[in-house]
Amino acid sequence: MDARDPIDVRYVIHRYAAQVNNGYVELSREQWSELRKNTPLTLTADELEELRGVDDPIDLTEVTDIYLPLARLLNLHFTGSKQRSSVLRAFLGKSERRVPYVLGLAGSVAVGKSTTARLLHTLLARWPEHPHVELVTTDSFLYPNAVLESKKIMHRKGFPESYDRRALVRFVAAVKAGTAEVCAPVYSHLEYDIVPGAAQVVKSPDILILEGLNVLQPAPPTSLAVNDYFDFSIYVDAKVEDIRSWYVERFHKLRRTAFEDPKSYFRHIAAMSYDEATKFAVNVWRDINERNLVENIAPTRGRADLVLKKGADHSVQKVLLRQS
């Protein structure tokens, strides 16, 4: 069996039958890494450095053990999805049409989902079956700060109601429908706001990766959710106390770097003492990010097709794969 041979999910379930829980097959790091087979490592240490998020210690060992098996699985799933689409169109007597594959990626602030998204974007684009991969973050569909302030929900930025859900669903639906060019707004983390007049143009990709806090959120009654358009979804998971620690560590790193930029929305924080900044970060985490995680993000974990469970050192310790 080589890197392109099908993963027999029934075999995986049989082999790890004792580890099936709540519809998922639970695989240890070692068991998961075996599923890499001979998938080649096409990433260099320098390239990984460019993809790594702030204060994320991911290394090539993590890429090899965790992300190469994941890239292999996604490649096989992409191929299977394409074949099913071709069969259905042939049955209906319709001409062949490329249907973009949509991958959703969810998880908390500071859990490392952005690094995961950038890494998968790079790895998947190096498979010949799907060279055109686009990455869009749901931050681009946050309401502008002026709108959040007018709605009096600026303090709930990142919560489900702070996103233009209808615009996000329309965007993904248009991509999935094969529209030649679809535009998404652009969000600036430096300025903490939507950039007026700017757009990210997505041009009929083989794969669209959509990364964000709430991409697995169910839709209101009678409406479609963005995840209704997903072909596969991933949730990046970790203990709340570990994510809290990572958030505070990342906050201090940003305080010494990005926050010092005169254009930064948070430039006032750069002048804080270490203790003042720590207190500020802990309060923001407790009142906003942890609350959003517990109330809105973590409850969607069971909707994912695959869960990456991280340990305190940021490394993935086990993988949960939905068995059907």
Q: What's the Cα-to-Cα distance from 245 to each of 102, 104, 183, 238, rounded to whole Å?
A: 32, 25, 36, 11
b vs e for 287-297, b when ≥16 Cβ sit within 10 Å of the residue's Cβ? ebbbebbeebb
Q: Is 253 annotated as a binding residue?
A: no
Contact 309, 28 (CB under 8 A): no
Contact 42, 71 (CB under 8 A): no
b vs e for 228-266, b when ≥16 Cβ sit within 10 Å of the residue's Cβ? ebbbbbbbbbbeeebbbebbbebbbebbeebbeeeebbb
| Nearest-angstrom CA–CA distance, 192 and 190 | 6
Q: Is 110 annotated as a binding residue?
A: yes
User: How many other C-beta atoms can be found within 10 angstroms of the C-beta atom of residue 175?
Assistant: 24
Burial, 61: exposed, middle or buried (Cβ in 10 Å; 0-12, 13-18, 19+)? exposed
Q: Is 245 annotated as a binding residue?
A: no
Contact 273, 203 (CB under 8 A): no
182-188 and 20-21 beta bridge pairing: unpaired
Q: Is 263 annotated as a binding residue?
A: no
Q: Is 107 annotated as a binding residue?
A: yes
Q: Is 111 annotated as a binding residue?
A: yes
Contacts of 262 (CB under 8 A, 6+ apart): none
| Nearest-angstrom CA–CA distance, 151 and 162 | 9
- Write out the binding residues: 107-114
Binding residues for ATP: 107-114
